[in-house]
Chain A
Amino acid sequence: MNTKVTIAGVEFKNPVMTASGTFGSGMEYGEFVDLNRLGAVVTKGVASYPWPGNPTPRVAECYGGMLNAIGLQNPGIDVFLERDLPFLKQFDTRVIVNVCGKTVEDYLEVVEKLGDTEVDMLEINVSCPNVKEGAIAFGQNTCALSEITAQIKKHARQPVIMKLSPNVTDIAEMARAAEAAGADALSLINTLTGMKIDIYKRQFALANKTGGLSGPAIKPVAVRMVYQVANAVKIPIIGMGGIGNAEDALEFMMAGATGVAVGAMNFVNPYATTQTIEGIEAFMEKEKIDSLTDIIGCVK
């Protein structure tokens, strides 16, 4: 039984990763799961300097999901390189660093600093809906997305994954723009912009007013978008959005994803990542699948 997948020349022992922002840099969930089991750890967004993030409340629950407006709080690339990366390199898993910024220059600074490291891939965050500058501003029109993708490709030493926002009219068009500008892979979806109101307090549940919706509630949207994008581009896709078990992960793969990421469901079940891997193996055995790559995009 072969669970290996390859994305932009990088081989993963299995397709199961963590979704950026839900797993820190692996330290916290390392208490619950063996990080060696994971296909990859995708880190929380890293900027060129420390970001304080948004005021609290930053999280709110909603039916079948949650809203967050953390605002990309992070300690900056220097702390990441000194503390988080050496921690992650102790484990036999791929490391994908999510890169965020307010300006193109911010992104490039992080990309440059990661160039000489043992990081396996870069995931470029052009889709966080919770910050006023940067991030999603680069991911909602094709010109801005092409421009930043091309710039990053010029400076990056690792393969580049562009993380797409679902908060667009046509995600296939965004995917084609990123591919044409040189992206090596795509990941989708980031969160859907949402809002919750506390009717007794007559105020927003989140200090930021809006937040990103994640969890099982968004899974059907995410599967549809992965399918659409898989039919629009040739580069590989990492799918995420409400994945919490093997059945969810396999849906994304059959829709066309080569990799899959567990996000908000880590909060619901801290063992969700490794249980997803075990579930995929059990499915392969039961369905007599020799190589997991056989099912990628099998539903046409």
Chain B
Amino acid sequence: MAGKKKEWAKVVSQKQLAEGIYDLWLETDLASQAGPGQFVGLYPRDKSILLPRPISICEADRQLNRLRLVYRLAGQGTKEFSTYKPGEETALLGILGNGFPLEAGIGKKVFLIGGGIGIPPMLQLAKELQAKKQILLGYRNDQLFLRDELAAQGEVFVATEDGSAGTRGNVMDIISEEGLGAEIIYACGPLPMLKAIKVYAAEKGIPAYLSLEERMACGVGACLGCVCKTRETDHHSHVNNARICTDGPVFLAEDLEL
């Protein structure tokens, strides 16, 4: 496997999927190494903001060398990205992070759970994972971005906070309302959701792979900015901290203190 690189990527297309949610396709050689649950650092051109923005990979087309990033407007950096037009170039750092382990789920009854901007990485995972997929998606309202594309990959269940579509509430409410079960969980989303999944998985005695988010600086494991608490002493840090950017972002729930 080739090492990490910072290189120029060309914007292929960009469109808005929902309020504050953008869909960006980039042409880059890095796509050939990208897997589900990994991420890239996207650098703003505005030199007053320096750090690469960690954005998860929604899809990787390894034949056409294209990466799809679906991101939420969060501040100055993502605001700049949302203006990018086809043909423009942007600097990219990648491929970063460990990604979801596919082997663990092969042939099993699985939950793929995405909450909010944790939904995009579920698409590449759903495309690659050979399993009985139940895809649980939590949205704020009825702007159900990526729902139809995910429905082509498995059975989709939706929850909305305002009750405008699917189950009123969150992804955990879907499980109880629909009486669903699984042998393994893959999840990405806000911390309260991940905490609830960790508790649920422990009760059921099933493994849950959680993808975490944190403010990052280097993205490559050097600065120790983006750590999370681990149950055991981490092999690299020798304290109970793992680096989300390099040891993660995907961790087995039982290894984490959330």
Contact = CB atoms under 8 A, between A and B. Distances in A.
Interface of A: 21-24, 27-29, 31-32, 44, 50-53, 56-61, 63-66, 68, 70, 73, 75-76, 79, 215-216, 264-271
B33 to A, nearest CB: 13
B253 to A, nearest CB: 18
Given A59-B215, A270-B6, A70 B224 contact: yes
Nearest to A65: B50
Interface of B: 3-6, 43, 47-52, 93, 214-228, 236-241, 246
Contacts of A79: 238
B5 A32 contact: yes
Contacts of B214: 56-57
Nearest to B6: A270
Contacts of A68: 217, 223, 225
A73 B239 contact: yes
Nearest to B220: A28
Given A58-B224, A58-B226, A59-B225, A75 B238 contact: yes
Contact of B6 (A32, A59, A63, A66): A32
A73 B237 contact: yes
Given A58-B225, A61-B49, A65-B50, A31 B246 contact: no
A70 B227 CA distance: 9
A64 B227 contact: no
A270 B51 contact: no
A28 B216 CA distance: 15
A257 B225 CA distance: 29
A21 B47 CA distance: 22
| A21, A28, A75, most chain B CB atoms within 10 A | A28
22 contacts: A21-B223, A22-B223, A28-B222, A29-B222, A31-B3, A51-B239, A52-B240, A53-B241, A56-B215, A56-B228, A57-B215, A58-B225, A59-B215, A59-B223, A59-B226, A66-B50, A66-B51, A66-B217, A68-B223, A70-B223, A267-B219, A271-B6
| A51, A66, A265, A270, most chain B CB atoms within 10 A | A270
Contacts of A51: 239
A52 to B, nearest CB: 4
A50 B237 contact: yes
A56 B243 CA distance: 11
A73 B6 contact: no
A16 to B, nearest CB: 17
Given A22-B223, A28-B222, A59 B217 contact: yes
A73 B51 contact: no
Given A28-B246, A52-B241, 13 more contacts: A22-B223, A24-B222, A32-B5, A56-B215, A58-B226, A64-B50, A68-B223, A70-B224, A216-B50, A267-B51, A267-B219, A270-B6, A270-B220
Contact of A266 (B5, B218, B240, B241): B218
A56 B3 contact: no
Nearest to A70: B224
The 8 closest A-B pairs by CB, nearest first: A75-B238, A59-B225, A24-B222, A28-B222, A31-B3, A52-B239, A50-B238, A267-B218
B238 A268 contact: no
Nearest to B227: A56
B218 A75 contact: no
Nearest to A78: B238
Contacts of A32: 3-6, 220
Contacts of B219: 267
B237 A75 contact: yes
A264 B218 CA distance: 9
